[in-house]
Chain A
Amino acid sequence: MDIQDVLEFASQTSPGMIRSHNEDSVTYDAPSGLVVLADGMGGYNAGEVASGIAVSVIASEIRQQLQSVKPEKIDSPSGDEVGVVLLRENLKKANFSIFNAANSQPQYSGMGTTVVTGLFYDDKVAVAHVGDSRMYRLRGETFESVTKDHSLLQEQIDSGMISKEDARTSKNKNLVTRAVGIDTDVVPEIHVYEVQVGDIYLFCSDGLNDMVVDEEIGSTLHMLKANLPLAATELIQLANDNGGRDNVSVILVKVNGKFSAPRGWVEKILSWFKN
């Protein structure tokens, strides 16, 4: 099956109830199976600029490069799948663009952004993230965060200093340990996961998971999985009803069928005819 026939997308973003600016940027590209979400930071409108650059660089570059490469192939120098290389290289490209813009224009000085981006191919999803924007997965009844934040709080949880429950009352939220655009290079964390039919993936900025507990996000997705745009709207409303103290963005991806890459010559020929 063609990837755009089996993946269903929905996205929503809101400045929240308190802030006048929306520094989040989101996009998805169904034919490429690509999702990009960024949560910018920086004075005045620099946060929007940083997240906007990240999203447009990553989305346009990957869309274009997918014309000539297959994400499921193995990249020869690195030994990684091409999909992983595409995410890594283009995150670095976005980092470079933001860093240069920040250094050439004083009003953008110090801007940066978190990024979470997913590329679906061959019954898999490759996820790259930097900072505290997340990807969650709902599979059957199980809803869990797949990415682990690059934040002070997460490091404290990992080292056992603070429990996950206690972390909710921490006064040290919003301190990220990695961001895109603040240094000459960036190290994204990238993992590849098998995808199952029926899975729902949620990409979100911290404006969602800071305002709504995971259990409630999961049950909302579970209840409204038949209507993805409504699920996205309800999630934003939950965050805003709980105070909406930050920008909040969500992208939902529902897997309605398999999308394995054509293998063997018969399948390959058939796939040519389909295009």
Chain B
Amino acid sequence: MPAKLILSMDGVVLKEYLLNKERTTIGRKPHNDIVIDNLAVSSEHAAIITILNDSFLEDLDSTNGLSVNGQVTKKHFLQNNDVVEIGKYKLKYLNDQPAQSTPADFEKTMVLSRPVKTGSTSGNAEAELLRTQTNAIKSNGSSDTPAPVAKAPTPAPAAAQVHQAAAIQILNGPNAGKELELVKSLTTLGKPGVQVAVLARRPHGFFITHVEGVKFPMVNGESTGEQPHQLNDHDIIELAGVKMEFYFKA
């Protein structure tokens, strides 16, 4: 399904255009693909270059310019739901397919049969580019691929990152009382060269793992060994003589 543009004015939809050409032009003159017959629109106002699933908007030195999502721009890489404004007219860009159209299509690396030429963004170069046939090496398309979604373990969506915030507080030594919030996916603790452990923030919780040093970190008085150890609320970590408490934040 190619991306499309929906032309509207004052909230009234006027027309829908499919971006199924390598170059779609927008302007006042009738030879344009998208004709907007209004004096505020230049005869050749803008062009949209579409390369496979990506589209790029370009101002063709128009008199009144154009804006995307309220920002004046000369050139823009269009994203789903972008609103292009030309005078009083709005063009909404819709390209709602995910990065690859189905999970089965994802990661299907393909080879372009000829080296792609991407010269300037004008004229023949991109016409040449789009004539380049893509040669799907992996020809068993989504239709005859065994549905990998059903079989695979439920992927952890990026959004399912640990919602809960957590922190550690140092309990002894000169830094006693200091709190360190665990915001990054990895946080290292300890003294390099002596004893270091890493705290990993993962979708299903926080884990401490030994990195270096002859001694392993202790959690609640027990050595974690070399393996990752999941932390629970109010666990006491001991590392290089420093005690700290791990806890979830409300």
Interface set of A (CB-CB < 8 Å, partner B): 16-20, 39, 41-44, 47, 110-112, 114, 131-132, 152, 155-156, 158-159, 161-163, 166, 169-179, 182, 206-207, 210, 216, 219-220, 223-224, 226-227, 230, 234, 237-238, 240-247
Contacts and interface: CB of A to CB of B under 8 A. Distances in A.
Given A175-B52, A234-B200, A17 B155 contact: yes
B122 to A, nearest CB: 11
Contacts of A112: 111, 137
Contact of B155 (A173, A179, A238, A244): A244
Interface string B198-217: 10101100000111100000
Given A174-B100, A224-B198, A230-B198, A41 B186 contact: no
A170 B54 contact: yes
Given A158-B118, A166-B77, A172-B54, A152 B112 contact: yes
Interface in B115-138: 115-116, 118-121, 134, 137-138
A162 B77 contact: yes
Contact of B202 (A42, A131, A156, A241): A241
B148 interface: yes
Contacts of B100: 171, 173-174
A43 to B, nearest CB: 4
Given A224-B188, A241-B161, A247-B107, 18 more contacts: A17-B156, A42-B137, A110-B139, A112-B137, A131-B109, A159-B121, A161-B121, A170-B53, A171-B95, A175-B112, A176-B112, A206-B109, A207-B107, A210-B107, A230-B198, A237-B202, A243-B157, A244-B156
A131, A152, A223, A237 pick with most chain B CB within 10 angstroms: A152
A259 B204 CA distance: 43
Contacts of B138: 41-43, 47, 110
Interface residues of B, number: 57
Contacts of A17: 152-153, 155-156
Given A43-B138, A172-B54, A175-B112, A220 B107 contact: no
Nearest to A162: B77
A238 B201 CA distance: 10
A22 B75 CA distance: 40
Counting from the closest, the 5 A-B pairs by CB-CB distance are: A171-B53, A246-B107, A226-B212, A43-B140, A159-B118
Contacts of B139: 43, 110
B129 to A, nearest CB: 9
Contacts, number: 164
A169 B109 CA distance: 17
A170 B118 CA distance: 16
Contacts of A210: 107
Contacts of A171: 52-54, 95, 97, 99-100
Contacts of A161: 49, 56, 118, 121
B225 interface: no
Nearest to B117: A155
Given A41-B110, A110-B137, A226-B196, A242 B158 contact: yes
Nearest to B204: A241
A224 B108 CA distance: 31
Contact of B115 (A110, A177, A226, A241): A177
29 contacts: A17-B152, A17-B156, A18-B149, A19-B152, A20-B151, A41-B109, A41-B137, A43-B140, A132-B109, A152-B51, A152-B112, A161-B49, A163-B77, A166-B77, A169-B77, A170-B99, A171-B52, A172-B53, A174-B109, A175-B52, A177-B115, A230-B210, A241-B156, A243-B156, A243-B157, A243-B158, A245-B103, A245-B107, A245-B155
